[in-house]
Each structure stands twice: as C-alpha cells, then as structure tokens.
Chains A and B, each alone.
Chain A
C-alpha cells in the first residue's frame, strides 16, 4: 500500500526543512480556518497557527504515520485554542473580518460573503464549545464524522448528534439575528 504523501513528508521533515515547509504549505489554510472559526479573530488565529506549527515541529518525532497527519495537526491546534481560551477566560470578542483575504474578490459577492461570514462567526460564538467545534470540523473543516470523532475523542454517533444540535442552534441564532434581534 503506497505511503500517504503527508506521512512521507512528515517522515522526511524530521531532518529536512524543505519537507517541513511543504507540509506547512499543504495545511496552513486548514489550520488557520479551524482557528479562525474558533476564535473569530484574525490576529489570534494567526498567532495560534504559528504556535500550532511550532509545536508540531517539536513533536514530529512522536507522530505515528497512519495517514492522519491533518487530524494530528488539528489535535495540536485544538489544544492551542483550548490553552488560549483558558488564559483569556472567555471567548474573545469578534473583530471585524475585513482583513480576511478573499480568493476571488468579486466586489459585490465579496461584501456579501464577508457579511455572511460575520454573521456565522458571531452565531458560532453563542454555541456551546463542543457543538461549535463539531460543526466547525464537520462542515467548515470538511472532515468526515469519523475523522471529527477521532480529533475530538468522541464516538462517531456522539459527533453526529453534536453536529445536529449545533446546526439547530446555529439556524436559530442566524434567524434571530436576521429578524433584527441582538445577541448578548
């Protein structure tokens, strides 16, 4: 069975800086997206992305190549985000996300997308941490339920239930805001 490309790179990256750079390029957007959705802040997501990759570099020797490098990396990102929230004692306030780059900057669509993104990030902030994380990984991170379960250390059935409840909560918050309500 051919070795997973990430696993090959991870093996080389223990001694090869270029291989580590390649791994970084393959996953930086994914890690950043996860942390951005968690924190709602570009600056915090950037800081945590840097800390995640530094920690990954330090722990690379302990990575077991099983084709799950991204999940392993997100596990580290998850711990970094948890440390961040423990230190800050609360969810950080949302910053404007105008600095988020848009890959296809069609003016009207970009503005609309930013507004939507803003609403979604705001609504995510009001979900319970477990539900928010399950939804972020399953829907935005595009992991399967099984992968999400592995990252979160839960059963697949539990993850599906969390995602379902998160989806209901999210819809309720989004509808509430759309109708002119203000979230606390």
Chain B
C-alpha cells in the first residue's frame, strides 16, 4: 500500500475511506491503494444473481405475494361480511317488530332488492371469488308474514372466465349482495330457503361453451349451492394444461387411515376438477416417504401399510417435503396438504420459509381438536407459504371436502396469478 505516513490508525482509516470512495467513483487512480480497491469493487460488481435463478425466484415471490394478498382480503371481507350479516339480521328483526313500509331514505346501506316471482339477480364475480347473497324470503306457511333469511353462496371454481350468475328466487323475496369473497371461504351457519340458482354464461362467452351445472355444496345447508362448470375448460382458449403435485404429509396414523378410506372418492373428485390438470401424488409420514406418482392406483397401494411415526416435528416433516421428493419444475402447483393430529414442535417458521422459497404452499388440516397455541403455530406455518389452516371438527366439511376445496383453490390461484 502506498501513501504518506499517518499519525494514528484513526487517520489512516479516514484516509482509506476517502480512497474507497474514490475507487468507487472511477477516474484515474491517484495511488496503488485506490487501484487495488478499484479492482475489488469491479470484482464485487461482477457478482450477480444467475438470470434463471432470479427469474424463477421472481415468479415464486409474485405468486406468494398474490396468495398472501388474497388471504388478507379474505380476512377483511370475512369480517365485513359478518358485520353486514349482523346489520342485515338487525334490519330483518326490525321489520318483524315494525312492519310499516320502508321509505327509500330508510334503506340500509346494504339495500335489499325486492324480487318478484320471476325476478333474477345478476351477480358479477370473477373466477377466484364467491358471492354471498343474503336472501329474505317471505314464506307461505306456517304464517304468511313470517320471514326467514338465508345466504346463498355462488362460487366460480377454476378455469372459468368471468361469468354472470343469475339467481332466480321465489315470490316475495328480497336479496342483498353482501360481499364477494375469495373462493373457498367457509360460510357456516346457513339456513334453508327455497332458492333456485341458475347460471348463464356472460356476454362474450362462446355459445359453443357448454352450460354450467349445479351440484350440492359441501356447506351444511340446503340453501347453499356451488355453481360448478359442466364444461371441459381445457377446450377454452388461453389456458394451457397445468401440473399439480400434491404431497400429503401426515403426522399420525389417523390421517393416513382417513385418507386411505376415502381415497377412491377423493381421487375421482380431484382428477375430475375443471381443466383436468396433470396430477401427481406423494406422501411423507416422517418414517416413510412415497415419491410422486401420477397413478392413483399405485398411490392407493402405497397408502396401505404405510408406516407412520409419532413425535416427528413439523419442521422435520417440512424439511423432508423440500428435499425428500421430486417436485416438478415449470408451471406446477406445489401443494402440501398436512394432516395433523398432534403438536407442531419447534422450528416451523424457518422450515415454512424454506418451503415457501421453493414455491411450496402448505395447507394444514387439523383432524381433531387443537389448542390455541398449536393452532397459532400451524396458522403461521401455513400463512408463510400462502396456505391455510382448517379445522375439521368445526367446519362441517369432511376431510375429502376440504382436500378438494384446497386443491381447487390452488388451481384458481395459479390461473389468476
């Protein structure tokens, strides 16, 4: 190193700092030290993230960001919907207590729409949302003036372009659009009503597109219905086939037993989801790992007699999901469905972040009761990856219902992301 002598190390440090600034600024080096420092700066500038890595990470981050944003919206909208439901029920109660005709100025912010016998109500929702309608229905019996309320859930599953759902109600009904929610939002506590929802494609959708059909929703109410497409959306332009790797992770034999018992139905439901994605299934139990297979029969055989360990921490189980199976690259949904009947253990935050870094979404289904502390750990673990924690006991859904719902939601996220 060249340069004049300095009185103290502090002065030398000050001078070096000036030379570093000079080396970074460019221009002819004033001495050997600046020249050497400039070489180091150039070496630093040559270190860049590999383009392929950077692009893949960007894709994963954007997808994760999108999921997190939707989860946040879902929480807000759920709260808003609950509030609006309370307000609407209050209005209904007031109407019962005070049956005078309501003037326009007295209309609530939710403004129910009176429906005649043949009225329809059009609801604009996109392919990642559900619409919740609060419908007040005047019934003929037992008392002509009695009023019942019901909520109708209209959901647009994956791969469907924006559709106008038209809901036809019975005479003397009124309907209020409460909110639109991300697809898959549970809406428990629905009551019955005589509603006949139908759906028609929106303008612009080809007439050649087959019609939509209705099937019962997994919701516990006959009033709830889910609009599902009776079409093969792969026929729609602009939607290339997608790959979906579903890895089941079970921390107890209970999860495997339930999965095995319902596997025939479950595999039929999943593989017939809209778009007929290219599915593969795998399994991690902490004792045994079954790598992905696209053959549902082979997977079913693997489920029988699979060994399950107890006491495996979820950090270790998640590590195995990252390193122990062969996820596909490209446009692949990487989904872990965790089946838990025990405690999460330590280290789940780091393990979840590592999974998220690989684009893996972790949904957790609690098979039995769960204390608040464990629920909070599992909730955080799922949220870090953009997934959900759901509790089987309190939902009214079966295990198969939830698995199908979670898979459908991931497919929707891929489409909208």
Contacts and interface: CB of A to CB of B under 8 A. Distances in A.
A163 B16 contact: yes
A14 B97 CA distance: 46
Contact of A142 (B36, B41, B49, B65): B41
B58 A161 contact: no
Contacts of B62: 17-18, 20-21
Contacts of A139: 20, 23, 37, 40-41, 44
Q: Which of A42, A50, A53, A145 has the most CB of B within 10 A?
A: A50
Contacts of B23: 139
A100 interface: yes
Interface residues on A, range: 35 or more
Interface string A131-173: 0000000111110110000000000010011011001000100
B353 A140 contact: no
B69 interface: yes
Contact of A164 (B16, B48, B57): B16
A102 B49 CA distance: 10
Contact of A120 (B24, B40, B61): B40
A54 B357 contact: yes
A41 interface: no
A28 B49 CA distance: 7
Interface residues of B, number: 44
Contacts of A101: 48, 50-51
Contact of A58 (B9, B37, B43, B384): B384
Nearest to B41: A139
B17 A160 contact: yes
Given A161-B13, A164-B9, A17 B357 contact: no
A37 B61 CA distance: 23
A51 B54 contact: no
Given A51-B353, A141-B44, A20 B61 contact: yes
10 contacts: A13-B65, A17-B62, A28-B49, A46-B53, A46-B57, A54-B357, A83-B350, A113-B42, A120-B40, A160-B10
Interface in A46-66: 46-47, 49-51, 53-55, 57-58
B414 interface: no
Contact of B44 (A25, A33, A102, A163): A33
A167 B60 CA distance: 38
